[in-house]
Amino acid sequence: MSLLDPIYNNDSGTVYAICNSSTSVDCYQKLQVQIGDIAIIMTLRELKSFLKVLRQAKKSCKCNNCKGIQVLKCNTQIAEVKFKVTQTIINDLEELIMGTLFHEEYVTVLNTNNINKK
């Protein structure tokens, strides 16, 4: 049975670790990124790639014809997802992923040093 362990959330979404049991040892192999009504299953590596896509999108066209709306592409091994986003949403998604990566590194440091998180 898989469990969803919330890692980080903000106004744009929530990221969950997909755990294979009630222990945290099996967590963080796959992550579920919930953005509105859409859930995307990603590995940590794919999440880092998505962060690069977000950062590249921040540098894209800012002309008046685009009216501040951009198309953000997120490709995984199974699907290609496209989002219409504004600069505010891009910033929120970047913060969501950065918070998730920080939390994952924090848990790794605790586990490496045999420190129990309570």
Q: How far does the chain reach from its first CA to its final CA, in angstroms?
A: 24
Q: What is the mean pLDDT of residues 72-83?
A: 76
User: What is the β-pairing status of strands 80-85 and 13-19?
Assistant: unpaired
Q: What is the mean pLDDT of residues 49-77?
A: 77
Instruction: Quote the pLDDT of residue 66.
Output: 66
Q: What is the value of pTM for the model shown?
A: 0.81
CA atoms within 13 A on the CB side of 11: 5
Instruction: Quote the pLDDT of residue 15.
Output: 96
pLDDT at 111 over 80: yes
| pLDDT tier at 38, thresholds 50, 70, 90 | confident
